[in-house]
Structure 1
Amino acid sequence: MEIAVFIMIILIASILQTSTGFGFSILATPFLLLIFEPAEAIQINLVLSLVISAALIRTIRQDIDYPVLRRFISGSVIGLFIGIGIFLIADIDGLKRVIGIIILTLTLLLLFKFRIARKRGRDFFAGGIAGSLTTSIGMPGPPLLLYFSGTDSLKEKVRGTTLAFYLFIYAVSLLIQVVFAGTGPVVWTASLWGLPLVFIGLYIGQMLFRYINQKGFRIFTYIILAATGIYLLLDSFGML
């Protein structure tokens, strides 16, 4: 049963990540926590997400907004170390609860046409939050997804910039996790088994991306955000 769940999680999350630029960590991490210990689930997510970003970087490099990418990376550096500190000392359920409430609140604001004017300082801040969430719970996607949704960015720019950012953030986060939290054979065995599923998801996701228009992309992101927020809340209260 656990093997079947693992296959479904990795395959669907890979398709989502490839077709939208988001989704692997948002979908995979919460469900991997049902099968693995927190550190194992986060590290498996980091390894496979890094593979996806590396595999796609050549095909999406023309869509990358490099000034925004540089600001995201600069902002994330401090956030990475804040996140690992939170992971080591904080109550994970409490953290999930807070993040779930924030995601749902901001998603409602976006649904009611709340928009954010993109500024340099806000780019740094979004990167910092994404960095802290990567090393703490393995989920950099929500702050970037909320930020880009609020600025009405083109889907190509969203996917290209976030995947390029993930290439950096996942590599550094994995190193920090291994150094500070340790690792084990379960992480690398599960990651190895997940690789074929990732490549199948890459192919299907690339095909789907061609058929997603801007409006559909925006609706899809709202669904991902709402589902993530609800899941985190339910999981934090032990209801799943």
Structure 2
Amino acid sequence: MEVAVFIIIILVASTLQTSTGFGFSILATPFLLLIFEPAEAIQINLVLSLVISTALIRRIRKDIDYGVLKRFIIGSSVGMFVGIIIFLMVDIDGLKRVIGIVILALTLLLIFKFRIDRNRGRDFFAGGIAGSLTTSIGMPGPPLLLYFSGTDSLKEKVRGTTLAFYLFIYTVSLIIQIVFAGTGQTVWIASLWGLPLVFMGLFVGQMLFRYINQKGFRIFTYVILVVTGIYLLMDSAGLL
């Protein structure tokens, strides 16, 4: 049963990540926690997310906004230290509850056509929030997804820039995990078993991306955000 659940989780999550640039950690992590210990689930998520970004980077490099990517990386480098402090000092369930409410509220604003103008300062801020959420709760995607949605960015730029950013943020996070939490054989065996599923997801996700128009992509992002917000609220309440 656990093997079947693992196959479905990795295949669906990798397909979503490939087609949108988001979604692997959002979808995979809560379900992997049903099978593995927390540190193992997070590290498997990091390893397979890195595989997806590495496999796609040459194909999507023309879609990367390098100016925005640079500012995201600089912002996240500061944000990761903030996230570690938050993780050590703040009640994580309370933090998840607040973040879940904020995500749902902002998603409603986006659905009702609330938009913001993108600028350099906001790029740094979005990267900083993504970095802090990576080291505090392991989810860098929601702030970037909200930011890109609010600025009406093209789906190609969203996917390309986000996947390139993940190469940096997940590599650093994996190193931090291994150094401070250690690692084990289970992580690497499960990751190895997950590789064929990831490559299947890469193929299916690429096919889907070709057929998703800008409106469909926006609806996709709203669904991901709503699911993330609800998941964080339920998890903080001990319902998962």
**Alignment TM-score, normalising by the size of structure 2:** 0.96
Superposition deviation, residue 88 in structure 1: 4.4
The superposition leaves residues 94-143 of structure 1 with CA deviations (integer Å, 9 ceiling, x where unpaired) of: 23222211111111111111111101011001101111112222211100
Q: Aligned pair in 2 of structure 1 residues 39, 89: CA closer, same or farther (>3 Å)?
A: farther
Counterpart residue number, 2:229: 229
Count of equivalent residues: 240
Task: Indicate the percent of aligned positions where both proteins have the same amino acid.
Answer: 85
1:27 equivalent in alignment to 2:22: no
Q: Letter of the aligned partner of 1:10 in structure 2?
A: I
Superposition deviation, residue 87 in structure 1: 3.5
Q: Letter of the aligned partner of 1:3 in structure 2?
A: V
Counterpart contact for 1:46–1:138, Cα < 8 Å: no
Whole-Å Cα distance in 2 between the matches of residues 34 and 13 of structure 1? 15
Whole-Å Cα distance in 1 between the matches of residues 184 and 232 of structure 2? 26
Superposition deviation, residue 80 in structure 1: 1.6
Counterpart residue number, 1:73: 73
Counterpart residue number, 2:177: 177
1:210 is paired with a residue of what secondary structure?
helix
Counterpart residue number, 1:11: 11
1:147 equivalent in alignment to 2:119: no
Q: Letter of the aligned partner of 2:135 in structure 1?
A: T
Larger mean CA deviation between 196-205 and 1-10 belongs to: 1-10
Counterpart contact for 1:127–1:144, Cα < 8 Å: yes
Unaligned runs of 5+ in 2: none
Larger mean CA deviation between 56-65 and 189-198 belongs to: 189-198
Q: Aligned pair in 2 of structure 1 residues 111, 67: CA closer, same or farther (>3 Å)?
A: same
The superposition leaves residues 134-192 of structure 1 with CA deviations (integer Å, 9 ceiling, x where unpaired) of: 22222111000000000000000000000111111111111111112222222222111
Unaligned runs of 5+ in 1: none
The superposition leaves residues 52-105 of structure 1 with CA deviations (integer Å, 9 ceiling, x where unpaired) of: 000000000000001000000000101122223434454332232222111111
Counterpart residue number, 1:165: 165
Q: Aligned pair in 2 of structure 1 residues 89, 195: CA closer, same or farther (>3 Å)?
A: farther
Whole-Å Cα distance in 2 between the matches of residues 178 and 91 of structure 1? 23
Q: Aligned pair in 2 of structure 1 residues 31, 95: CA closer, same or farther (>3 Å)?
A: farther
1:114 equivalent in alignment to 2:95: no
